[in-house]
Amino acid sequence: MRKIFIALLALAALGAIGLFLYQNRPRPPVETKFVGSQREELIPTRVGLVTPGASALVTLPEHTYQTFNNCGPATLSMILRFAGKNVSQKELGDFMRPYQIPSGDNDDKTIFTSEFVEWAQKYGAGAIGRVNGDIELLKRFSANGIPVVVKTWLNIDDDIGHFRVVKGFDESKKVIIQDDSYHGPNKEIPYFDFLSMWQPFNYDYIVVYTPDMEEKVMAIIGDETDDSVNWERALARAEKEKALDSQSVYPAFNVSASAYHLGDYQRSASEFETVEARLPRRMLWYQIEPIRAYQKLKNYERVFAVTDRILNGGNRAFSELYLIRGEIYLAQGEREKARAEFEKALLYNENLETARKALDESF
């Protein structure tokens, strides 16, 4: 018995050493894989902005740990509390993803940035969502006392989408400091690791703020408060990162997503096809621009093929896909099939107003 105990103790020690070595392994220089955004120079005197120093840390209210598959509502609960709104993740979850299965089997797994922003606004907070964030932008927000929600993978080399709150940085350690509904509060993540998880989402970020913060928020975002400027910069950056790392699938996917939002649907579809076979299985669970591009191009067969694969591949409750399919059937004059798709969209998310509107206006 003693030998077994000693062996288990040795294994635990080896595991701890291995974890320490992995977490403290040398990272490549950030610039070998990632490109910083073209960004306006911060003018400190503008609306009382502070230029980032060597470190900053925003103090957030009580931490919230998520329930199963509930990182979106849990994160929104935390950030609303910062904005002075006390709303539980249970209440938010019931509104944002009402179709919940405790085991996670085919429950609602997708909350888009636009949804997150809309729900924050419904609770009386200011909110804006953008792409093309970078470390410098996060540092500017932290230095000015403003936390930022980002959409990333849950872990490095993972393909589960996850919201987290960035609340600080330490330049001497080259780390971002975050509160995470899954991993816990005050977690430090090296810049390289953080960017590796953030890049797949086109460096998506959300700022939730109070009225007295609005001028600062808009000044920090600068001219990228304009949608077109934001997507044009994201596209240019993705093209540079594609040239920098031709083996990564994410820059090409970001080109696809950005091209869609700029109205270049053919390029969106073409770029997607260059990496489609190598994308993580869950990639289209969280970003559906290529599917929307096929819809705009009237390539309906591709829409049905791709959405069938997602719906039959572990994400049955993806309401937005049923909405798209219903829109296509309606365009083809297949009214009963369209009705069935819209009804499925509402089955899995009774609060999806676009699906309810489509059903009410078409039938």
Q: What is the pLDDT of residue 13?
A: 45
Phi/psi for 207 (5° steps) reads -115, 125
Can you identify the CATH homologous superfamily of domain 22-225? Cysteine proteinases (3.90.70.10)
Q: What is the pLDDT of residue 293?
A: 99
Domain ranges of the chain: 22-225, 235-362
pLDDT tens sequence across 285-338: 999 999 999 999 999 999 999 999 999 999 999 999 999 999 999 999 999 999
Same fold, 22-225 and 235-362: no
Rounded CA gap, 303 and 70, in Å?
A: 28
In this prediction, the residues of the chain whose per-residue pLDDT falls under 70 are 1-27, 103-104
| Amino acid letter, 33 | K
Q: What is the pLDDT of residue 104?
A: 65
Q: What is the pLDDT of residue 12?
A: 46
Torsion angle (degrees, nearest 10) of CA 235, 237, 240, 242: -70
- Class for domain 235-362, per CATH? mainly alpha
Rounded CA gap, 133 and 224, in Å?
A: 10
pLDDT tens sequence across 79-130: 999 999 999 999 999 999 999 887 667 788 889 999 999 999 999 999 999 9
Q: What is the pLDDT of residue 20?
A: 42
Q: What is the pLDDT of residue 275?
A: 98
| Amino acid letter, 352 | L
Q: What is the pLDDT of residue 9?
A: 55
Q: What is the pLDDT of residue 24?
A: 56
